[in-house]
Amino acid sequence: MNIRLLGSAAAEGFPAIFCRCKHCEKAKRLGGKNIRTRTSALIDDNLKIDFPPDTFMHVLRAGDAISEFEHLIVTHTHHDHFYPEDIRMRTPNFAKNYGDVLNIYGNERVVQRCNDIFENESESFNIIPFQSFTTYEVGGKLITPLPADHKPDENSFIYFIEKNGETCLYGHDSGVYPEETFNWLSKRVLDVAIMDCTNGLKDEKTIHMNIEAVKEMKTKFVKMGMLHEKSKVVATHFSHNSGLLHNDLESLLVPFGIDVAYDGMEIKI
């Protein structure tokens, strides 16, 4: 499995769109891995997770290949993960030679928004509702949506993804995982676990995780035998409110065997 992290920021981006705080100014000055767009991942080129407003930017950066996915799975409807107005740009009025119908999978709110926005273009999309703890075959992979601790007014998901015995937990947005989710995961082995680190050093582990929570989750994974020596644990979805630049995050996480995501990071299993 090949996993490309196209973005690594929380909702406002880093530097944040309208912010002039010292951390955003420093990120602009330093550039490189400190410039973070909104999160999304591409797996084996045919499966995309989430569709942020920065998708256009991701295509400009990485080339047409990243817009050729056939399947889009959505975690939840916060705008930094789901921007269906731009998915409409795949319909014949806006795009030529763009390939087949796009399959979009997600919770009841995702389905509702798709039905509203694609009302007159339904032939361009297959909209498939997902239920938590049910395993679906999507693009040659097995996908299981699991409940997240994130958006109380909808069933936010994290995803367990499996292909030929290779496994990835796409574990954000979420605070410390709900017990039922952790129990389900505890029977699995994770080759890659990608987790939410929005809150940095702030004392807040619900809705989003902080550094301490990511470390605690990793410790629990180890205790339950869910990781092996080549497993990778990756923190992502960083906010400028944490005040932590890429090097700061590395010095806080790498000593604990946790990698710090950046835009364009590739993870191979």
Please pick, from the candidates 21, 89, 101, 201, the single residue that binds Zn ion as defined by CB under 5 A: 21
Binding flag, residue 240, Zn ion (CB under 5 A): yes
Binding flag, residue 149, Zn ion (CB under 5 A): no
Site for Zn ion in 32-91 (CB under 5 A): 78, 80
Least distance in Å: CB of 234 to Zn ion?
A: 16
- Residue 107 CB coordination number (10 Å): 22
Helix (H) / strand (E) element for 185: namely helix 179-185
Least distance in Å: CB of 125 to Zn ion?
A: 23
CA-to-CA distance for 137 and 128, rounded, in angstroms?
Answer: 12
Least distance in Å: CB of 223 to Zn ion?
A: 28
Which CB, 21 or 65, lies closer to Zn ion? 21
Least distance in Å: CB of 173 to Zn ion?
A: 4
Binding flag, residue 196, Zn ion (CB under 5 A): no
Which residue has tokens 């273009």?
A: 121
Binding flag, residue 173, Zn ion (CB under 5 A): yes
Largest CA distance in the chain: 53
How many residues are there in the chain?
269
- Piece of the chain touching Zn ion by CB under 5 A; list 20-28, 52-60, 139-147, 242-250: 20-28
Least distance in Å: CB of 196 to Zn ion?
A: 8
Find all residues with CB under 8 Å of 226, minimum gap 6, and list them: 185, 186, 188, 189, 190
Find all residues with CB under 8 Å of 261, minimum gap 6, and list them: 5, 8, 194, 234, 235, 236, 238
CA-to-CA distance for 71 and 128, rounded, in angstroms?
Answer: 10
Interacting residue ranges for Zn ion, rule: CB under 5 A: 16, 19, 21, 24, 78, 80, 173, 240
